[in-house]
């Protein structure tokens, strides 16, 4: 029996040269984005608090940590309770506390958020007054078209990719095992693992397939999660995903510059410039292949739906009409990722010891608390409580 202090660190398999001989785990988590990594950390903490029930946990990730192609690495990392229903406030506060104190260096910094409106809304102030201390933010917009502003002075920004990395590293110290470059599929009573490798000609191929037994499987595979769970359970799970892009806007920003929100568009100060994030109006159909659109007949890397959305905001945000907006020439020029569009991060039990954990746009504000809740649930089930 191990005690919290004598608990051994977990094993890490980063590439196929390291033999993987394990056959059984209490819990397998599929996906080491911020949601899966946070769940692994909280399960690790739970396991070290209950040495007599020491949980064996395997965290599986198709790519590296953090995966260059996951949503976590591109998420804007804006923590705000503006427009959050009161029922979600406790979760937001819990998540904030974790970001500030428990997850290591995630570049958490207070940064106000200013939502701008063409018409009066509750609790608005004049835009010119609110943005007066921030001329670099005022320079992006037309305050005559967006004369009303609501300020979230408590808002903050941070790096979600660091959350995934730090949470996974802490989880390993607490005994959680990590298997990278491996695609996992839930299967009867366990998980099928395809260990992937790259050939000399840069093709990704399966090196070996391993089946492990698992008491519980948590699908935390981001936008791919719901359909992965659907395939394994053979039943429909309502879900919606979209391919989101995050173009740069090369206007100057500073460390205290507020995040701006105009309709579905968030303008997030980052690296001395701005990153745009537009909330998609619709889900993308299954099997949709994202492709660049055209602006005045010229091919761009921005998809048509995003171009339409940006054009609709150009009068209110004249900066979008400048040559400083990154247009790219093809899709690969613009950072983008598939995201699940569920309004709030959530988990659900799908039966047969399988759970689905999803992040999505509000994961910046609420994600850690939802992962923590699920850890409690999974821990109880694993201990037979």
Whole-angstrom distance, CA of residue 243 vs CA of residue 226? 15
- CB nearer ligand ADP, residue 258 or residue 345: 345
Tell me which residues in 329-358 interact with ligand ADP (CB under 6 A): 358
Position 32 contacts ligand ADP (CB under 6 A): yes
- CB nearer ligand ADP, residue 231 or residue 294: 231
- How many residues belong to the site for ligand ADP (CB under 6 A)? 26
The residue from 61, 152, 241, 277 that contacts ligand ADP (CB under 6 A) is: 61
Query: How far apart are CB 212 and ligand ADP at their closest, in Å?
Result: 13
Whole-angstrom distance, CA of residue 358 vs CA of residue 343? 10
Query: How far apart are CB 60 and ligand ADP at their closest, in Å?
Result: 5
Encoded one letter per residue, x for contact with ligand ADP by CB under 6 A and - for no contact, window 305-334 reads ------------------------------
Position 30 contacts ligand ADP (CB under 6 A): yes
Query: How far apart are CB 374 and ligand ADP at their closest, in Å?
Result: 12
Whole-angstrom distance, CA of residue 32 vs CA of residue 39? 9
Q: Which residue is nearest to ligand ADP (CB)?
A: 33
Q: Which span (41-49, 65-73, 123-131, 205-213) binds ligand ADP, by CB under 6 A? A: 65-73
Encoded one letter per residue, x for contact with ligand ADP by CB under 6 A and - for no contact, window 193-232 reads ---------------------------xxxxx---x----
Query: How far apart are CB 160 and ligand ADP at their closest, in Å?
Result: 7
Position 62 contacts ligand ADP (CB under 6 A): yes
Whole-angstrom distance, CA of residue 117 vs CA of residue 317? 11
List the structure tokens of 347: 């988990």
- CB nearer ligand ADP, residue 7 or residue 213: 213
The residue from 70, 247, 269, 301 that contacts ligand ADP (CB under 6 A) is: 70
Query: How far apart are CB 326 and ligand ADP at their closest, in Å?
Result: 22
The residue from 45, 48, 56, 72 that contacts ligand ADP (CB under 6 A) is: 72
Name the pairing type of β-strands 57-60 and 177-179.
Answer: parallel
Which residues make up the interface to ligand ADP (CB under 6 A)? 30-36, 60-63, 67, 70-72, 183-184, 220-224, 228, 358-359, 363
């Amino acid at each position: 029996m191990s005690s919290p202090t004598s608990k051994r660190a977990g094993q890490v398999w980063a590439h196929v040269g390291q033999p993987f001989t394990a056959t059984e785990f209490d819990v397998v988590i599929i996906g080491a984005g911020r949601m899966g990594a946070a769940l692994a950390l909280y399960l690790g903490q739970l396991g070290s608090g209950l040495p007599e029930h020491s949980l064996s946990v395997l965290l599986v990730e198709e790519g590296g940590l953090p995966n260059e192609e996951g949503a976590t690495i591109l998420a804007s990392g804006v923590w705000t309770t503006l427009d959050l229903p009161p029922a979600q406030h406790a979760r937001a506060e819990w998540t904030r506390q974790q970001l500030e104190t428990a997850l290591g260096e995630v570049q958490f910094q207070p940064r106000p958020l200013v939502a701008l409106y063409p018409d009066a809304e509750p609790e608005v102030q004049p835009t010119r007054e609110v943005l007066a201390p921030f001329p670099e933010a005022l320079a992006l917009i037309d305050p005559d078209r967006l004369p009303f502003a609501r300020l979230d002075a408590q808002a903050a920004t941070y790096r979600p990719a660091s959350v995934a990395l730090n949470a996974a590293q802490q989880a390993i110290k607490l005994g959680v095992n990590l298997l990278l470059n491996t695609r996992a599929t839930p299967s009867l009573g366990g998980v099928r693992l395809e260990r992937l490798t790259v050939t000399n000609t840069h093709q990704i191929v399966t090196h070996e397939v391993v089946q492990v037994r698992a008491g519980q499987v948590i699908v935390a595979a981001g936008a791919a999660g719901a359909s992965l769970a659907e395939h394994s359970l053979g039943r429909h799970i309502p879900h919606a995903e979209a391919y989101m892009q995050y173009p740069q806007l090369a206007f100057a920003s500073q460390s205290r510059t507020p995040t701006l929100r105009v309709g579905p568009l968030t303008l997030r100060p980052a690296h001395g410039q701005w990153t745009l994030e537009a909330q998609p109006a619709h889900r993308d159909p299954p099997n949709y292949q994202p492709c660049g659109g055209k602006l005045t007949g010229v091919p761009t890397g921005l998809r048509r739906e995003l171009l339409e959305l940006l054009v609709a905001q150009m009068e209110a945000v004249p900066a979008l009409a400048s040559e400083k907006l990154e247009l790219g020439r093809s899709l690969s020029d613009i950072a983008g990722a598939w995201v699940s569009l569920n309004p709030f991060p959530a988990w659900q039990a799908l039966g047969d010891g399988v759970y689905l954990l999803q992040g999505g746009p509000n994961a910046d504000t609420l994600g850690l608390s939802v992962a923590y809740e699920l850890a409690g649930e999974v821990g109880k089930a694993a201990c037979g409580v």
